[in-house]
Amino acid sequence: MSADTRAARAHPGPDGTAQPVLDVRTLPTFAFGHRSVMWWSTRGLMLIEGTEGTVFAIAAMMYFYLRTRAPAWPMAADAPGLSWGTLNTLVLLASLWPNQLAKNAAERGDRARAARWLAVCLVSAIAFLVIRALEFAALNVSWYTNAYGSVVWLLLDLHTTHPTPSIPPCSPCCSSRGHSKASGSSMSARTRCTGTSSC
């Protein structure tokens, strides 16, 4: 914080008396770590994810419970194809690299590189969803066919909901344009993209 920012100036209040005013125009519009609202939002999301993790655990227990009770497995269906699911796993693992690079670029204040790597993250998320649609088709069973179909579709649906919400916030970051008149540097990517590079 600069001396100009810390200096309180007198300003007439509603009752006519002088009120101290703090000039914050030169303060940064972004922050990292616990000083960022995004940091606290992520902590809140982790609490929600803990609850959702319980839902995942219950769904997995349903799957294995059904497996112990079924005379044949899969129930009245061919075994699902594993090629699309394997490919999706590779896509998710590969997306860790541009995700980390986007985070590093944002922390350095490198807006161009942050937007570039977020674009790669966005493409990875879209590729994941496209392959997931093909994966559903390879299950060889519909959600309404029997209990086996229902629980398998439930597990895949739960997992699909994770990357889907990250696409809208990442999209504007990849093409964001902004300029901070106070600091004379581009701020959009650092402000909006930090913490959303989980695409």
**Tens digits of per-residue pLDDT, 111-145?**
899 999 999 999 998 999 999 999 999 999 999 99
In a domain, 14, yes or no: no
* pLDDT at position 191 over 50: no
**Assigned domain for 3 exists:** no
pLDDT greater than 80 at residue 186? no
pTM (predicted TM-score): 0.65
| pLDDT at 181 exceeding the cut of 80 | no
User: Which tokens belong to 42?
Assistant: 């992520």
- Is there a domain that residue 124 lies in? yes
Note whether residue 36 is domain-resident: no
CATH value at residue 113 = 1.20.120.80
**Tokens 């916030």 sit on residue:** 169
- What pLDDT does 167 receive? 64
The residue range of the domain holding 189 is 51-193
Q: Would 82 be classed as within a structural domain?
A: yes
pLDDT of residue 172: 57
- Cα–Cα distance, 45 to 48 (Å, whole number): 5
The pLDDT tens digits for 13-42 are 666 677 777 888 887 777 777 777 878 887
Q: What is the mean pLDDT of residues 88-99?
A: 94
Number of domains in the chain: 1
Does some domain include residue 13? no
Is 188 within 8 Å of 176 (Cβ atoms)? yes
The model's pLDDT over 144-180, given as tens digits with 9 standing for 90+, comes to: 999 999 999 999 998 888 666 666 655 555 554 444 3
Task: Assess whether pLDDT exceeds 60 at residue 182.
Answer: no
Whether the pLDDT of residue 199 is over 70: the answer is: no
116 within a domain of the structure (yes/no):
yes
**Residue 125 domain flag:** yes
Q: What is the mean pLDDT of residues 33-62?
A: 80
pLDDT score of 174: 59
